[in-house]
Structure 1
């Protein structure tokens, strides 16, 4: 967590917010705003649904906040703990060497490759293809259809 805060401070550069006693109350307190959304921590694990739910929650938080792509990546990584933190440190160094842009698209690609592998995504696409209403209510069926449709975007051209 300290590493991420230091990186944010370095990227923001010197300014009145880094000088003691000169912080203006009206300044944007991005980290405080982010934490008010009560973002979940992510520690990994064998259940890909946990990863999927975490990423969806983080994405929803960032929809509500007008943050730069770089801040989104930094704040999402701020929520990593344990082995996931170690994994992120490897990815961060890889990005630095390759000069990979800190954008949400790159972050989600790396995250999905690690925690929601293509085999799981293919399984969900197959679930979508085989989805039938049967005993489900219309609302339940629509919910499953919508949830699984993100794994088969090429099959769902429009609403």
Structure 2
């Protein structure tokens, strides 16, 4: 039993010393390359969210860098912040959760790259508010609030990359 533990300790110590030795020999440029690259686990950065009103629809645009990830838009009964489960303080009778994966709203150092609103009340015919509700483990989540159940369509645009959601409403011209 003691002999097995000793071999395990020797193997772990050898591995640690080998790893430490390799990192000491690595060229200086290797460590700086990691700091400037996009998040290692995600290639897509979520950098902004914006909206606009049109005569027959409201539009929500999520600006991206590094491509468009998989996106799911799900009707939910209420909005909560990811992780804490605390309710999002947006008034509405209907809500959508917009989840992007793999994506991040922060860089490798943990600094936010997202420049849009975290919580915003909006006064459009259909869209009444948005919130950034999560940025954790490769998922970025937004919540959107509405006075009524929205009819919506989604699509992507490129150069620059964007995810778009249009919410239909009656003509307001």
- Interval of TM-score (by shorter of Structure 1 and Structure 2): under 0.3
Greater fraction of residues in strand: 2
TM-score (norm 1): 0.28
Relative contact order higher in (CA < 8 Å, ≥ 6 apart) = 2
TM-score (norm 2): 0.26
* Larger CA Rg, structure 1 vs 2: 2
Greater fraction of residues in helix: 1
